[in-house]
Amino acid sequence: MQTEALLVAFRRRNGVKEMLFLHSEHKHYLSLPGGKPYGHETVEVALEHHLKEQLSASPDKITSIGRVNGHLPDGRIVHVHLFTGEFTDPVHTHMQSSKVEWMDKTRAHMHAGRLPTVIFDNIFSHLEALGLW
């Protein structure tokens, strides 16, 4: 089983709540910022270093919002530690051939085919149960 630390970030734009996704031109699916721990890293340290590699801004008030299990696009089982945070600065990605996409709930559901099942089925359900999405 793989472990990952992922950030669920929201913003309000024109009164609509949007979630942050990353889109790499090399992958056919969207992802959330973050990644897996290396070596003996904690999930908190892993999240911090992946966010520095991936995004131009750092979130404030990073808070753990639970864990979910699911499947990666290649079928492997993943144990996801979820965190939330707020960005005060505009966000773009440092990764070549990647971009940041903010989507409201309706648009995210329209892109279900571009979302790994762990995000669409497990993370979205968890966020809805918490009243966040």
Q: Give 90-120 as a DSSP string.
A: ---B-STTEEEEEEEHHHHHHTGGGS-HIII
pTM of the entire structure?
Answer: 0.91
C-alpha 52/C-alpha 101 separation (Å) is 17
pLDDT at 65: 98
Number of structural domains in the chain = 1
Q: Cα 118 vs. chain centroid, distance in angstroms?
A: 11
Q: Measured at the alpha carbon of residue 88, what is the angle toward residues 83 and 92, in degrees to the nearest 5? A: 80
Its domain, for residue 103, covers 2-129
pLDDT in tens, the chain (133 residues): 899 999 999 998 999 999 999 988 777 789 999 999 999 999 999 999 999 999 988 898 899 999 999 988 888 899 999 999 988 888 988 777 789 999 999 999 999 998 989 999 999 999 999 999 8
CATH of the domain at 19: 3.90.79.10
pLDDT at 66: 98
pLDDT at 15: 93
As a dihedral over the C-alpha atoms of residue 100, residue 79, residue 88, residue 52, rounded to 10 degrees, the angle is: -70
